[in-house]
Amino acid sequence: MRRSVLGFISALLLVTIATGCAEGRDEPGSEEQAAQDGLVLAVGSEPETGFDPVKGWGRYGSPLFQSTLLKRDDQLKIVNDLATGYKVSGDGLTWTVKLRGDAVFSDGEKLTSDDVKFTFDTAASGGSSIDLTNLESVEAAEGQVKFKLKKPQSTFVYHLITTGIVPEHAYSDGYAEHPVGSGPYTFVQWDKGQQLIVQANPNYYGDKPSFKRLTFLFLQEDAAFAAAKAGSVDVAYIPSTFSSQAVKGMRLEDIKTVDNRGIAFPYVKAGAKTDEGYPIGNDVTADETIRKAINTVIDRQRLVDGILEGYGSPAYTAVDGLPWWNEQSVIEDGDAAAAKQMLADAGWKDTNNDGIVDKGGLEAVFTLLYPSGDMTRQALALAASEMVQAAGIRMNVEGKSWDEIEKLMHSNAVLLGWGSHDPLEMYNLYSSIYGGVDYYNTGFYANESVDKWMDKALDARSEQQSLEFWKKAQWDGQTGLSAKGDAPWAWLVNIDHLYLVNDKLDIGEQRIQPHGHGWPITDNIEDWAWRE
């Protein structure tokens, strides 16, 4: 019954669109067929900046309207999309990408190398969220594009994977609200704050998705859950607190992620100030033993079971499970005795019997900040501070707004979250040159050998080659950025993304999802289908 009502509305909508936009186009068949063709999803938050890849749309998850030069398959291997292949010169400075000839934008215009050049030039010039400072120039030739870099950068390939190509002829200020692209879907309508409607792109060169029309509703988590209960959506994202309730006609999909949460410690002693005048450093967390003891005493599995209802996994680095993850970075945790021993060996003892260890008059007390709007981070912060007490360390938990956190995050521990399909993120988090830049390396971590390994990884000529160096940066047997090495972070958990999915809907094999609950689920939209 619900389906046919929905179908009727959808059919009406399609008729309006069909007659409105393209006269003479065939009307949809029966209502039943229309219902089979459409999906209603409540999976993500609304992108504030619209749907312009140059301004960051598609960073997390597929850009939907646009297509990219390369893409990842379900095993996270890099495969061709708009490109038919790419080559890196021996010095690593020139990347030549060959384009397929049959790609057209949804308005019928052919996608050429000029459009690729235009996209990257625009992204490099206009204060976008894409860091293309290393890009010297882009040259467009017949059927191929040459990217010239200032210095070799193996992670440049991720720009080719994540940057959707925009059309030069149809790009203007309003593009973000009316995107035109060569992706699997074309834009129909965006009611800000409410919904986004897209329909299948008839000109798409790739495997055509089996759903003609998608409606994305922008709902809060509890509203999405209510909508799923009412049967008005086919896919809904939910927080783990709602996971224990079964919803009729829906099943729970539990998707693994690198959407991680962890505690970033100030790595240096107090004293310095940033250019804005915010204090840097903390004497307690600058002590390696303290950071390692915290890493050791925290029971990550208990956090997963207790806070995420089991829908998550312990996190040991920022890149767990990704091709560049070093499995040796996993440590034994949840061991209070070992943590105590570690502290005692380093001279941290409870001399004044207040339950908190001290050393040279310095008590092992510091503040842990969390963004006050985020329930999961609040829970993790409280539970972690409870756990570290067993080792004689006190973390005073404080919830703040992001504005306040920005002022305090270099001198206090902060509960942050990351997770990307691009190892460049690891570089940004741990490289000494990113100390104090945005929310990256908030603690001013710096280790020469880690920097060296990561520079080598950037300098590599292929992704394959770079992987080994990324792994060495985490732990090379002597030192590293993981908890085994300098432990500048205490990573806590990877949060699984939970979706309620219509029982009859097959959403294919989902890959490990990055940070950002929602949009990434549509990465493999071509594989989605109704089950017979």
Partner 1 sequence: MIRRHMLQAAGMNTGIPRWNGRIRTAISVSGAIALLAVIMLGSRLMGSEGLAVSLEERNMAPSPAHLFGTDWLGRDMLSRTVKGLALSIQVGLLGAACSTLIAAVMGLAAATLGRAADRCISWLIDVSLSVPHLVMLILIAFVCGGGMKGVAIGIMLTHWPSLARVVRAEALQLMSADFVLVSRKLGRSRMWIASRHLAPHIGPQLLVGFLMLFPHAVLHEAAITFLGLGMSPHQPAIGIILSESMRYLSTGMWWLAVFPGAGLLLAVWAFDRIGGHLRRLTDPGSVRL
Residues that bind partner 1 (CB under 8 A): 222, 225-226, 241-242, 244-245, 302-303, 305-307, 372-373, 375, 378-379, 381-383, 386, 397-401, 404
Taking the complex as a whole, the smallest distance from the CB of residue 313 to partner 1 amounts, in Å, to 17
Nearer Cβ to partner 1 (240/257): 240
Taking the complex as a whole, the smallest distance from the CB of residue 262 to partner 1 amounts, in Å, to 18
H, E, C per residue of 355-395: CCCEECCEECEEEEEEECCCHHHHHHHHHHHHHHHHHCCEE
DSSP one-letter code for 273:
B
Taking the complex as a whole, the smallest distance from the CB of residue 404 to partner 1 amounts, in Å, to 7
Taking the complex as a whole, the smallest distance from the CB of residue 402 to partner 1 amounts, in Å, to 10
Taking the complex as a whole, the smallest distance from the CB of residue 386 to partner 1 amounts, in Å, to 5
Taking the complex as a whole, the smallest distance from the CB of residue 385 to partner 1 amounts, in Å, to 8
Nearer Cβ to partner 1 (82/233): 233
Tokens matching residue 258: 């690198």
Nearer Cβ to partner 1 (8/402): 402
Taking the complex as a whole, the smallest distance from the CB of residue 299 to partner 1 amounts, in Å, to 9
Nearer Cβ to partner 1 (121/374): 374
Give the list of residues 6+ apart from residue 322 with CB closer than 8 angstroms, or none: 76, 258, 421, 423, 512
Look up tokens 């309508």; give the residue: 189
H, E, C per residue of 469-516: HHHHHHCCCCCCCCCCCCCCEEEEEEECEEEEEECCEECCCCCCECCC
Q: How far apart are CA 207 and CA 200, in angstroms?
A: 11
Nearer Cβ to partner 1 (388/458): 388
Give me the amino acid identity at 327. E
Nearer Cβ to partner 1 (140/217): 217
DSSP bridge pairs for 370? 399
- Among candidates 184, 180, 149, which has minimal Cα distance to 167? 180
Say how many residues make up the chain.
532
Write the DSSP string, 386-421.
Answer: HHHGGGT-EEEEEEE-HHHHHHHTTTSEEEEEE--S
* Structure-derived torsion over alpha carbons of residues 54, 60, 63, 69, reported in degrees to the nearest 10: 70
How deeply is 355 buried, as exposed, middle or buried, from its count of CB atoms within 10 A (0-12, 13-18, 19+)? Answer: exposed
Taking the complex as a whole, the smallest distance from the CB of residue 401 to partner 1 amounts, in Å, to 6
Nearer Cβ to partner 1 (286/382): 382
Taking the complex as a whole, the smallest distance from the CB of residue 486 to partner 1 amounts, in Å, to 28
- Among candidates 500, 524, 526, 501, which has minimal Cα distance to 512? 524
Nearer Cβ to partner 1 (11/298): 298
Nearer Cβ to partner 1 (249/373): 373
Give me the amino acid identity at 33. Q
